[in-house]
Amino acid sequence: MSTKVEGQQSIQPYIRDEKMIDIKAHDTEVVQMALSLSGLLLATASQRGTLIRTFDTVKGEQLQELRRGSNPCTIQFISFDKEARSLCVCSDKPKIHIFHLKSEEKAESQNTKSYFSMMSSVISVAGSEWSAMQFETDAEDSQAGFKAVLFNGGLHVVTRNRKYYRAGLQNSGLLKRDEENELTL
């Protein structure tokens, strides 16, 4: 039996005889989390909203520490793409952050690293990875709230203000807004 600790998540494997795994995800309360489609990866965001961490759900090990920014915010939604190669993070700020994830084939990610990354053993934030791509919505959309997913080579955003955005991934690795529509019900 595990005791609930702030910032800690417990994972019960589907196989009954397997032992429960406790993951110390953050120092503060976990407010958002997402599982990859395979269930092998877990992404968590804390109350501060500055760090997103990814974990191996089988071993319980942290894989990456991703930095959304240095100012606190409320993370509203996290989603993996279908292949668990990228992670999309939405907050109460207008920017959507997209991070590339490490894999067995790719030991290094394509995310921006801090200039101080060689000092990560001394300064904890220096080891964080910054988003590889960003997409900016209108300010009123971020205040109303929105969800975003990576699907079929693009970013798809739906807002509570009934707007739909699509941004395609260019060869340069940047997102280009190529569609914006009002949704009617």
Using one digit for the tens of pLDDT, what is the confidence trace for 60-71? 899 999 998 889
- Distance from C-alpha of 160 to C-alpha of 180, rounded to nearest angstrom: 14
* The pLDDT of residue 45: 93
Which residues, other chains included, contact 156 with Cβ-Cβ below 8 Å and sequence gap of 6+? 148, 149, 150, 164, 165, 166
Confidence bin at 141 (pLDDT 50/70/90): confident
Class of residue 51 by CB neighbours under 10 A (exposed 0-12, middle 13-18, buried 19+)? buried
Q: Which residue did the predictor score with more confidence, 162 or 172?
A: 162
Q: Which residue did the predictor score with more confidence, 118 or 2?
A: 118
Class of residue 111 by CB neighbours under 10 A (exposed 0-12, middle 13-18, buried 19+)? buried
Class of residue 181 by CB neighbours under 10 A (exposed 0-12, middle 13-18, buried 19+)? exposed
- pLDDT for 87 beyond 90: yes
* The pLDDT of residue 120: 43
Looking up tokens 């080891």, which residue turns up?
127
Domains of the chain, by residue range, sit at 8-182
* The pLDDT of residue 77: 92
Give the CATH architecture of domain 8-182.
Answer: 7 Propeller (2.130)
DSSP bridge partners of 10 = 22
* The pLDDT of residue 147: 84
Contact at 8 Å (CB) between 148 and 131?
no
* The pLDDT of residue 12: 59
Least confident of 12-21, 31-40, 160-169: 12-21
* The pLDDT of residue 50: 92
* The pLDDT of residue 3: 47
